[in-house]
Amino acid sequence: MAIRLVLVGPRFLFFFFLFAIAFSGAFASNGNMVTEKTLAMIKPDGLRGNYTNRIKKAIVESGFRILKEIIVELDEDRASRFYAEHSSRNFFSGLVKYMTSGPVCIMVLEKQNAIADWRAMIGPTDATKAKATHPNSIRAMCGLDSEKNCVHGSDSLQSAQREISFFFEEETGEMVGKHDEL
């Protein structure tokens, strides 16, 4: 039996190298795909409008796992601390009043690319814009405007970690962070 050497061309090696780099960070050391966690919140208008079950169904059907879930009523202090990065903005007092107007459903979601996928599902912050540009988004389905937009989603890995710990673990350190999501 003869052994045959096959030489591969530089084009094959180039694409193999790109493929290897693209997926090298996507796997944990045990070979499993790395997942992300993100915070999802159904705001008072979403709960009042009976959208909770529809939103949770869409979450699960999109491949997310709901790891933790609580329903809480935020008081003024807690809502102010959660949205502290917006405290100097003119809409802040209205936002706090809205977020304390009824219970909210807080969830920790998990899947590959969870942060970006959840943000894509919820659509633009302004629900009016979402209705025009992202008609299948959650905010198009149940949001009213840029403040009463039905849901919240972490906008970065750092925000997700901070927001998850805000609701599900002991708070440590300064809660003020930089993110653009309401």
Contacts for 73 with CB less than 8 Å, ≥ 6 apart: 100, 102, 103, 104
Tens of pLDDT, residues 35-49: 999 999 999 999 999
C-alpha distance across the termini of the chain, in Å:
68
Catalytic residue numbers, as ranges: 152
Rounded to 10°, the helix 114-122/157-168 angle is 90
- pTM here is 0.76
Between CA 140 and CA 126 the distance in angstroms is 9
CATH architecture of 36-169: 2-Layer Sandwich (3.30)
Between CA 55 and CA 144 the distance in angstroms is 16
Between CA 25 and CA 106 the distance in angstroms is 29
Detail the residues annotated as belonging to a binding site for ATP: 43, 91, 119, 125, 139, 149
Please report, for the chain, the start and end positions of each structural domain, with discontinuous segments joined by +: 36-169
- Which residue has better confidence, 10 or 53? 53
Between CA 76 and CA 99 the distance in angstroms is 8
